[in-house]
Amino acid sequence: MQRALRNLGIYSTTLLVLLFLNAVHVSDTGPEKNTHETYNIKALKIPEGLTFAGEKVPTERFDIRERMDRELLVNTYWQSNGLLLIKRANKYFPIIEPLLKKYGIPDDFKYLAVAESGLQNNSSPAGASGFWHFLKRSAREYGLEVNRNVDERYNLELSTKIAAEYLKKSKERFGSWTLAAAAYNAGNARIANRLKVQQVDDYYDLLLNSETSRYVFRIVAIKEILSNPKQYGFEFEKNDLYTLPKTRTVKVDTAITNIASFAKQFNMTYKEVKLYNPWLRENRLHNKSRKLYHIKIPVK
C-alpha cells in the first residue's frame, strides 16, 4: 500500500513538471494564430503635413491625432470598401475634378463626395440622395428638379454644380474650407450656432456631435488612402479599375411616353437608359413645361 502511494506521488510530480514545461513552451512561442500566418494588423503612422483644401490638420494636438488615427485605421482595414472606392474613383473623378475646378472649389472636395455616398447614386436614412447627398428641400432651393418623374440629384454634373454653390457660400460665411465641409454635413445654421456658443472660429476647436466630429477626419483619411493606395496595402492593376464608357448627348424638349420604346431608337435597352441617366425615375418623361433635357447615349 505504502509502495503504491509512493509510486502515485512520483507520477503526480512528473505530471506537474510536464504540464509546467508545456505551459512554458506555449508562453515562449505565443498562442496559435486565429488568422492566416501572413495576415497582420499593423498600427499606422500618422503622416506629417496632412491638409484639407490647403488648410493644415493640427495632428500635433493629442485629440486631433487620435481622431485622425481612428479614421485612417477604419478606412485602411475596411479593405473591401477601400478597394471599391479606389475602383469607382477612377470612373467618376474625371467627371468631378474639372467641374470643381470650373466652379472654383478645391480639388479635395471630390473626397467629400466619396465620404457622402461612396460614389454611388444612393440615399441616406434621412433621404439625402445622389452622389452629393442633397435633401429634397435643399436641392429645390438650388434649382434642381426633384419629383417622382425626374430627380436631378441623381444627375452627377448638375448635383456637382449645386454642391459647389453651397460650399462657396459656406466658405464666404465662415472663412474656412474645413468649416465649409463641416457645414455640408451639419448645416450652416448649426455650425454658426456652435461657433458662437463655444466662442471659437476653427473646426478643430469645436465640440460637435459624433458624426460631424468625425466628418472632416474621414474625408482627410479617404484622401490620404486614395492618393497613396499602395502605401496602405491596396494592390491592383490598371485594368482592375472601373471606367466610364463614352457617351454622346441627345437633347429632348418633349415628353417621352415610353422610355423602353425610346431606348430602342438608339439600339439601347431600358436598363441602359436608366444606368446612364439615373435621374429619370419612371418609364416616361412627362415634360409638360417643354424643358430641355440632356439624355446620355453610350457610343457603341
Q: What is the pLDDT along the chain (300 residues), one digit of tens a residue?
A: 444 434 444 444 544 444 444 544 444 456 677 777 887 888 999 999 999 999 999 999 999 999 999 999 999 999 999 999 999 999 999 999 999 999 999 999 999 999 999 999 999 999 999 999 999 999 999 999 999 999 999 999 999 999 999 999 999 999 999 999 999 999 999 999 999 999 999 999 999 999 999 999 999 999 999 999 999 999 999 999 999 999 999 999 999 999 999 999 999 999 999 999 999 999 999 999 999 999 999 998
Instruction: Give the torsion through C-alpha atoms of 23, 27, 32, 34, to 10 deg.
Output: 120
Q: Write down the pTM of the prediction.
A: 0.88
Task: Tell me, yes or no, whether 118 and 218 share the same domain.
Answer: yes
Task: Tell me, yes or no, whether 148 and 172 share the same domain.
Answer: yes
Query: Cβ distance 181 to 215 under 8 Å?
Result: yes
Q: Is residue 37 domain-resident?
A: no
Task: Tell me, yes or no, whether 225 and 251 share the same domain.
Answer: no
pLDDT at 73: 97
Instruction: Please count the structural domains in the chain.
Output: 2
- The secondary structure of residue 204, as a DSSP letter, is G
Task: Tell me, yes or no, whether 253 and 163 share the same domain.
Answer: no
Q: Is residue 21 domain-resident?
A: no
Packing angle between helix 210-227 and helix 79-102, nearest 10 degrees?
90
Q: Which long-range contacts (CB under 8 A, 24 or more apart) does 166-169 make?
A: 166/138, 166/142, 167/105, 167/109, 168/103, 168/104, 168/105
Task: Tell me, yes or no, whether 138 and 214 share the same domain.
Answer: yes
Q: One-letter amino acid identity for 283?
A: N
Q: Is residue 127 domain-resident?
A: yes
Q: Hey, how many other C-beta atoms are within 10 angstroms of the C-beta on 182? A: 26
Task: Tell me, yes or no, whether 144 and 278 share the same domain.
Answer: no
pLDDT at 188: 97
Q: Report d(CA 146, CA 134) in Å as an integer.
A: 11
| Boundary (domain end) residue, out of 216, 240, 264 | 240
pLDDT at 79: 95
Q: Report d(CA 63, CA 72) in Å as an integer.
A: 14
Query: Cβ distance 144 to 161 under 8 Å?
Result: no
- CA distances in angstroms from 254 to 151, 198, 294, listed in the order given: 17, 54, 12
Task: Tell me, yes or no, whether 155 and 71 share the same domain.
Answer: yes
pLDDT at 44: 94
pLDDT at 19: 44
pLDDT at 30: 60
The C-alpha cell 448635383 sits at 159
Parent domain of 260: 247-298
